[in-house]
Amino acid sequence: MLWGFINIFVALNGFYDIICAFSILLCLTWRVPVFLSMSVLHANMFKEEEHKTHPVIMRFLAYWLLTYGTVRLVSGLSSFFGCSGICAFAALTYFIEAICFAYELVVGKTMIPQKVFFVSILSGGLGLLVLYAGFHV
């Protein structure tokens, strides 16, 4: 009973972190006002105003939130997966890596396209391979 409650709490906390991450990204990119209150929750932990408003710092904060939020969500829901939680974690980290680098290339324009294409394609492929292997063990 307690373990089930903990799993639900961890999954909900992961979902919350993911929502905060997307809120930061949406407010930085498209200035979506409905997400403004969620986007400042983690940013307001910074002492210096320049850190709270620097777009690269905010994007990487969002990527970090997305990473550990996803791990928490998958961990909390792992009993529902057909593959082990470990393989799901590994696969998701590859997918997150691919997505975050591609997003930074397109939106942040701070990355070298050829390197991002290589990393994103390789990471996406490795994620699929790990996920496939986990279901067929």
pLDDT tens across 113-131, in order?
Answer: 999 899 999 989 988 987 8
* Pair of tokens at residue 45: 């932990």
- Measured CA angle at 69 (ends 74, 59), to 5 deg: 140
Distance CA 47, CA 49 (A): 7
Question: How many alpha carbons lie under 13 Å from residue 43 in its C-beta half-sphere?
Answer: 26
Q: What is the mean pLDDT of the chain?
A: 83
Residue 105 is predicted with a pLDDT of 86
Indicate the DSSP class of residue 95.
H
CA distances to 11, 92, 105, 108 from 80, in Å: 12, 16, 34, 36
| pTM for the whole structure | 0.69
| Cβ-based neighbours of 34, under 8 Å, separated by 6 or more | none
pLDDT at 104: 84
